[in-house]
Amino acid sequence: MNELSLVKLIFEASLLVQIVMLLLLFISLYSWTLIFYKSRYLKNIHNIVNSFEELFWRSKDLNLLYNHIRSNEAIGIEKIFVAGYAEFLKSRNTNNLIENTKRAMQIVLRREIDELESELANLATIGSVSPYIGLFGTVWGIMNSFHTLGNQQQITLAMIAPGISEALIATAMGLFVAIPAVIAYNNYNDNIDRLITNYDTFLDELLGILQRKTKNALS
């Protein structure tokens, strides 16, 4: 099927099928917008994690690192460090120093996880619903084609084929919308799981460092 015949089939489809195709087009545009946005966002977060961890393990003075990070806009894992160290400094003279520090970091961690996972549900919905929207258009188009041919005395394949082809375009469009969304969702979900693991690991490592720092100060 060449491009001109495809365009012709779309414009000759029934009104409802055309509406379904238009809806799928808008969903596809929205899906690709999410895909490109999330790709750039997660790439930026990965770069921040790598840069911060390198800076953190090279730093010999957590106070200097804390003041440096706090003076700029903390992002991602940096927020966990800033929240935890701020609470550590605030609670130094209390009995629940480590518990308060851990709680402060866990609160920020949950917020960061929510931020990482934002829009993922939309991609999952697009990936699961789009084929059914396309299938609805196909079923309606085929029903409309057979209804139109109902009064014909003699029906040939040449009479049926155009109507069925018009309808099947809706299914093809539904799959075209769904497949990239599903691939992106799975890829981003895997990246986010690895980021969350990094966050959890850093939280535990920072708590261990602060515990040792507290014991050394008391000894």
Residues 198-217: pLDDT tens digits?
Answer: 999 999 999 999 888 887 76
What sign does the dihedral 131-137-138-140 (CA atoms) show? positive
Q: Do residues 71 and 63 make contact, with C-beta atoms less than 8 angstroms apart?
A: no
Nearest to 113 by CA among 88, 80, 66: 80
* pLDDT range class, residue 12, cuts 50, 70, 90: low
Domain ranges in the chain are 3-57+123-218
Global pTM reads 0.81
Nearest to 41 by CA among 117, 104, 155: 117
For residue 2, the model assigns a pLDDT of 43
For 150-196, the pLDDT digits (tens) are: 665 555 555 556 667 777 888 888 999 999 999 999 999 999 999 99
Q: Worst-scoring range by mean pLDDT, 71-75, 78-82, 102-106, 177-181?
A: 71-75
Residues 6+ apart with CB under 8 A from 49: 76, 77, 195, 198
